[in-house]
Amino acid sequence: MPTEILMPALSPTMEEGTLAKWLVKEGDEVNSGDLLAEIETDKATMEFEAVDEGTIGKILVEEGTEGVKVNTPIAVLLDEGESADDIGETSAPSDAGGDAEAKAAPADAPASNGSDAETGKTAPAPETSDTKAPAAPTDDSGERVFASPLARRIAADKGLDLTQIKGSGPRGRIIKADVEGASAGKKPATKSEAADTAQAAPQAAAAAPSGPSADAVAAMYQNREYEEIKLDGMRKTIAARLTEAKQTVPHFYLRRDIKLDALLKFRSQLNKQLEPRGVKLSVNDFIIKACALALQAVPDANAVWAGDRVLKLKPSDVAVAVAIEGGLFTPVLKDADMKSISALSAEMKDLASRARDRKLSPEEYQGGTFAVSNLGMFGIENFDAVINPPHGAILAVGAGVKKPVVGEDGELTSATVMSVTLSVDHRVIDGALGAELLQHIVENLENPMVMLA
């Protein structure tokens, strides 16, 4: 029977996407590894590869369609000997034609579309077998248990009872990921557990406060001239995550002024020496390094909130906000405490460039415990940044401004002063601990040579 090609989950958090472009048309023959379509997630445009071979019998979702849910059928693949007349049979759970999970991973499992969504590397196509799949089993009531041929073969090899496995494929079909999960000792979800999970999301949404409806807002301005701007996937995601952050994360704020004169002088000397290598360090490069070292000095603050526990990380993985058209990315500089400032500078330039082109893979902008948001280049002197869950804190960096200060000898003098605000998740970091972390950041920046020791 024909096989449904499903909307793939190209990142662990992807729930829907835009089918930007079809790279095949109805009647085309495809082989494993052939590109089928371009899918836009909230962060990037990624290519979707075929795993099975066959003929594109019907395209179900037109290119340019937005908001296509993960695991929604987007096309039908015909096997040898099948025709378009057989496509109607796909309205019922299918037992033939290969694995639906080869077309798209379930939302709660890693993507397996021939490309690794976390690394961007091409993954090998699943091994095929000439061994005929065992017949579909029946449960105690005599009802047929629907499972893909590959799932049946794996179950037979491992001696698993398919009647005891909960299917996560289309219409409850058992797929490869379900069988592999069961063989790894994972307990299948019961019907009551699945029902509880299904009810949790709408209940949470109903409990969350909401503003006026779109129609109500539009009605306020019905007599005024305006342009309606449609939200893209990135803007929707930013809106949802920031709303979640401000509603669920108990923020508190710590503010300090940092004297930059020693850093600016040191940076100028370094840049002069590094000029033959084509390296030019920015103040932000020093800030990233200062934060990474501070997280090592205060390891209890190098942590994230994980629902019912705190995860304390050993490496300093620092995220940095990068503004792009229509939104922002927060690429993560991993092991930032172990890298030289010039290495961090080069890596940051590369990540920022690819972020603006939307070419980052999910693993490059997910993770980290701490973030830096710098608006100083726009002349902003101070601001409060919103924590990016599950991070424990974010440092908002303002512009360095010449100000009158009282010197160590009590005389009035001037200095370049930069204002910073540390937004902290009180569930992860208490006030004194946050103050200690910020103190280390200040000391690192006011004594920049220490960061090279």
Q: Which residues contact 410 (CB under 8 A, 6 or more apart)?
A: none
Q: Are 47 and 79 in contact (CB under 8 A)?
A: no
Q: How many CA atoms lie within 13 A of 76 on its CB side?
A: 18
What span, in angstroms and rounded, lies between the C-alpha atoms of 172 and 146?
8
Residue at token pair 């090592």: 296
Could you give the strand order of the β-sheet that contains 393-406, starting from the edge strand earlier in sequence?
Answer: 251-259, 412-425, 393-406, 370-374, 318-320, 332-333
Q: Are 232 and 358 in contact (CB under 8 A)?
A: no
What span, in angstroms and rounded, lies between the C-alpha atoms of 425 and 440?
18
* Angle at alpha carbon of residue 114, lines to 111 and 116, rounded to 5°: 50
CA dihedral 286, 288, 291, 295 (to 10 degrees): -130
C-alpha 374 chain-centroid distance: 21
What span, in angstroms and rounded, lies between the C-alpha atoms of 222 and 212?
15
Q: Compute φ and ψ for 5, nearest 5 degrees.
A: -95, 125
Counting beta carbons within 10 angstroms of the beta carbon of residue 45, is it exposed (0 to 12), middle (13 to 18) or buried (19 or more)?
Answer: middle
Residue type, 174: I
Number of H helices and number of E strands within the chain?
10, 18
Longest CA–CA span in the chain (Å) reads 92
Taking residue 342's Cβ as centre, other Cβ atoms within 10 Å add up to 15
What stretches of 235-389 adopt beta strand conformation (E)? Answer: 251-259, 303-305, 310-312, 318-320, 322-324, 327-329, 332-333, 370-374
DSSP string, 37-105: EEEE-SS-EEEEE--S-EEEEEE-S-TTEEEEETT-EEEEEEPTT--GGGGGGGGS---SSS-GGGT--
Q: Are 285 and 348 in contact (CB under 8 A)?
A: yes
Q: Is 426 a catalytic residue?
A: yes
- Tell me which residues are annotated as active site: 426
